[in-house]
Structure 1
């Protein structure tokens, strides 16, 4: 059992475990990126093929995003009790089983099974996002943005490779007697299961459990030091015990602001991204072009992370959240004016969309991490990720209906304008004072 007492040893221990944690998270995120890219790239197309309806093509995004909401809550609760290793390992395993279910549904042309499997598959998406928190448990406050970035940028390799393997995986699926559009889910199943195994086996010691233990030691030392000072000053006239416990502070505004940043960012990104493949196919683009655009978009979601994290640590969480809103607005404007047959402008719009999401997610995540303490961190983070997932589900479900009723151009412009709601919220946030969220007693 690890014990305190030597501050220098505590510091060395924290650094060593943080380095090991980031290494394990990097490998798991590479695999996780490949898993999540399958649903993003061909989920809507597979549903359109099986349902024979474009208006319901947003359902896959909605379903696995709803599944990710349940998973985010569950992973957060499990991590709070048993640590990141168990919570993340279970989450990725569930996502892999869901991907297998999608393949089975495609083979059997069984729509109810497809919907159920997509719901379970969403656990992988939620876990992939929750893994970013594992990199921050032992990171100093001044390096939390960078730690989030390292976890996220690792997703890039798998996330970019996944969409560009649509055609080869389709050929592989066809050779196995599986519908081609289900091919990427074969990759997702293997990737998610492998990611879960890596975390469960190698994420030792658990970064959250160690962070909680160190926090308890520091709190005990601080209490002992305070007690000694009170004794030395002989403050018997107003004994602390007579006053009772201090009232719990109100939840820190930073957690709410971070949640708002990530929710609005998620809705704007998911709504536009979900309908882009269908918009492209309608205007004569092939699957290889769809894979290119989505691959570049997903790359833009993750690849800028190292730079983004440094900027968030350097310039602050709220200023970078404003930057995210501006970039998302730019993405919506480009998507709205781009001709349907212009591959170049669609690439630009989706790259901007990915970068805006990246900046918003890292800035919002840093706000949440700053606002939490080990006693409530995974539980609070899981709850916030539920809101993010539900927002994404709503954006995915409504995107098909909005596009059918109006056009992709209106959908794109609406998503960009939605992001501007961040700016008044963030200006209000600058006037508030940050206070830590109390642990539930």
Structure 2
């Protein structure tokens, strides 16, 4: 018995949608992509509004610059904590259930962060930022949803198109941080917490869009298509988290993909999270910080279609090598910028480009390297590893800046590229 695409979510794990015909598949791909693009714009807006001033808000509430790095740690701790449960949920219920849950947790977390700022409670603020970071889980998972129904030779481009859509909201977000702060004046809410009020509302809207429009579910549809051509289908245990970990252990290129995504993300988060603090040291105001972070986010997302095209045309390994080079150059430029706001902005823009190259090529390589049944679990493992590593990096970044400065932070972040470079070279001379 098959499951109708519009049937209640409660039955998704037991009765997946029937495979669509070849003639229907292109239209379904376009519909899924349109919904994901819409939610990426909304999610990117919600995330960027809050992230722009998270470190500054943490510094103001805690009264300590060294502790300001905990804001970044908290925002990436949320996705890290949610990654594996989210992967398990998606493996059994599909993308829609997981994305809705992540956006709603992000909205609740943003609300708690506001309460922490009002109560001048650093612990409550950090708790809220952990939940707020779950919004990032949804946007990260959406890139894999875009790959579910894509042709193998267009998989990186499908991922990059959805990543690109975040540009609109993500670039706009930091620039409306100031108006968002002004909008809560007179309400007893600190201006630096105003962006989180807006973020909560945006995440709720994103959850509603996914809930009502992402039908049929792309992961469940892709699985039904794959199992239709496999005698007996795939066993449910083949979709478990344990099966996903086993698939990674058995594939050297899947391990390279994990290192790429985690390394590029950790280097980016470590540098980006402390850039607002470094800028304010040199006299930058909130608007200047917003402009620099906007340029960085433009580098992260606006050129992702180019990274996807390169990854499909030149190969995943070539673009991973490009990511290593770009992030290294970015660390050099930003780390030696000093009081030059323009040089810092350039470094952050190049850093965004390097992150985009690493995320798109690494995500495509990961999807290529494991069986379809294990993909949801492996993709969740990838997000867990990348966010856990970035959380540690964010925590260390605050301590490094407080003790040694912004320049040494960039130098140490560049050292994270060494394992990526070594594995790329090794993979270039071997076959899995």
Q: Give yes or no for TM over 0.5.
A: yes
Are 1:158 and 2:169 an aligned pair?
yes
User: 1:11 aligned to 22, 27, 31, which one?
Assistant: 22
Superposition pairs for residues 37-436 of structure 1, below 5 Å? 37-220=48-231, 251-340=250-339, 342-434=340-432
Deviation larger for 198-207 or 422-431: 422-431
Gapped regions of structure 1 (runs ≥ 5): 224-247, 435-441
> Any idea what SS the aligned residue of 1:433 has?
coil
Instruction: Give the whole-Å Cα distance in 1 for the aligned partners of 2:107 and 2:341.
Output: 33
Instruction: Give the whole-Å Cα distance in 1 for the aligned partners of 2:185 and 2:296.
Output: 27
Q: Per-residue deviation at 1:251? A: 2.0
TM-superposition CA deviations, 1:342-366 (whole Å, max 9, x none)? 1110110000010100000001000
Instruction: Give the whole-Å Cα distance in 2 for the aligned partners of 1:370 and 1:60.
Output: 34
Match of residue 239 from structure 1: none
Q: Per-residue deviation at 1:431? A: 3.4
Contact 1:80 1:378 (C-alpha < 8 Å) held by counterparts: yes
> Any idea what SS the aligned residue of 2:66 has?
coil
Q: Per-residue deviation at 1:37? A: 0.9
Gapped regions of structure 2 (runs ≥ 5): 5-18, 235-246
Structure 1 length-normalised TM: 0.89
Instruction: Give the whole-Å Cα distance in 2 for the aligned partners of 1:219 and 1:23.
Output: 30
Q: Per-residue deviation at 1:130? A: 0.8
Deviation larger for 162-171 or 422-431: 422-431
Instruction: Give the whole-Å Cα distance in 2 for the aligned partners of 1:327 and 1:162.
Output: 24
Contact 2:262 2:386 (C-alpha < 8 Å) held by counterparts: yes
Contact 1:335 1:413 (C-alpha < 8 Å) held by counterparts: no
Contact 1:36 1:125 (C-alpha < 8 Å) held by counterparts: yes
Contact 2:50 2:177 (C-alpha < 8 Å) held by counterparts: no
Decide whether aligned partners of structure 1 residues 219 and 115 sit closer, same or farther in structure 2, where only a CA change above 3 A counts: same
> Any idea what SS the aligned residue of 1:403 has?
helix
C-alpha RMSD of the superposition: 2.0
Contact 1:254 1:367 (C-alpha < 8 Å) held by counterparts: yes
Instruction: Give the whole-Å Cα distance in 1 for the aligned partners of 2:56 and 2:232.
Output: 58
Instruction: Give the whole-Å Cα distance in 2 for the aligned partners of 1:111 and 1:414.
Output: 28
Instruction: Give the whole-Å Cα distance in 2 for the aligned partners of 1:123 and 1:393.
Output: 13
Structure 2 length-normalised TM: 0.90
TM-superposition CA deviations, 1:313-342 (whole Å, max 9, x none)? 0100011000000000000110122122x1
Contact 1:71 1:122 (C-alpha < 8 Å) held by counterparts: no
> Any idea what SS the aligned residue of 2:109 has?
helix
Q: Per-residue deviation at 1:375? A: 1.5
> Any idea what SS the aligned residue of 2:253 has?
helix
Deviation larger for 11-20 or 379-388: 11-20
> Any idea what SS the aligned residue of 1:77 has?
helix
Q: Report the number of matched residues.
A: 406
Q: Per-residue deviation at 1:79? A: 0.5
Instruction: Give the whole-Å Cα distance in 1 for the aligned partners of 2:417 and 2:220.
Output: 36
Match of residue 47 from structure 2: 36
> Any idea what SS the aligned residue of 1:146 has?
helix
Contact 2:100 2:207 (C-alpha < 8 Å) held by counterparts: yes
TM-superposition CA deviations, 1:355-409 (whole Å, max 9, x none)? 1000000010001110123311111110111000001101100001111111101
Instruction: Give the whole-Å Cα distance in 1 for the aligned partners of 2:406 and 2:20.
Output: 58
Q: Per-residue deviation at 1:9? A: 6.5
| Structure number with larger C-alpha Rg | 1
TM-superposition CA deviations, 1:28-54 (whole Å, max 9, x none)? 000000111133211110010000000
Instruction: Give the whole-Å Cα distance in 2 for the aligned partners of 1:432 and 1:91.
Output: 39
